[in-house]
């Protein structure tokens, strides 16, 4: 079963394919803050340390928000916009 790992603490959660990263982090109680939950405010930024290829491609809103923040390179994603199609490791910012 695929897993999401939280780099900050080393904790891991088993997930169903297609799980929303937002729900995984909330269910696990990992300290990632959410605001709009719509890819606009940038509150939920995480760095994808491993398994970036297992996340859904970015849509335009997420790209724009990360671009405004100057974080459109380097493996950053907005957790509220990510679906997990396999294992990945994220780091909270
Ligand atoms: S909660 Fe606002 S961008 Fe994710």
CATH of the domain at 57: 3.10.20.30
Q: Which residues line ligand 1 (CB under 6 A)?
A: 34-37, 39-44, 78, 80
| pLDDT band, residue 70 (cuts 50/70/90) | very high
Give mean pLDDT, residues 65-93. 97
Q: How far is the CA of 92 from the centre of ligand 1 (A)?
A: 13
Q: What's the pLDDT score for residue 3?
A: 98
Checking phi first, is residue 7 left (phi over 0); if not, alpha (psi -120 to 50) or beta?
alpha
**Quick one: which atom of ligand 1 is closest to the CA of 41?**
2
Q: How many domains does the chain have?
A: 1
Domain span at residue 76?
Answer: 3-92
Q: Is the pTM of this model over 0.85?
A: yes
With cut-offs at 50, 70 and 90, classify the pLDDT of residue 22: very high
Task: Say how many Å lie between the CA of residue 57 and the centre of ligand 1.
Answer: 16
Q: Assess contact for 81 and 39: CB atoms under 8 A.
A: yes
pLDDT at 14: 98
| Cα of 77 from ligand 1 centre, angstroms | 10
């Amino acid at each position: 079963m695929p897993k999401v790992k939280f780099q900050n603490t080393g904790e891991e959660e088993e997930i169903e394919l297609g799980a929303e990263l937002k729900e995984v982090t909330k269910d696990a109680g990992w300290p990632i803050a959410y605001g709009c939950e719509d890819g606009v405010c940038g509150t939920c930024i995480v760095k994808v340390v491993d398994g970036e290829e297992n996340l859904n491609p970015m849509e335009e809103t997420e790209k724009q928000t990360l671009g405004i923040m100057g974080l459109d390179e380097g493996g950053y994603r907005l957790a509220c916009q990510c679906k997990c199609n396999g294992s990945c490791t994220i780091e909270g910012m």
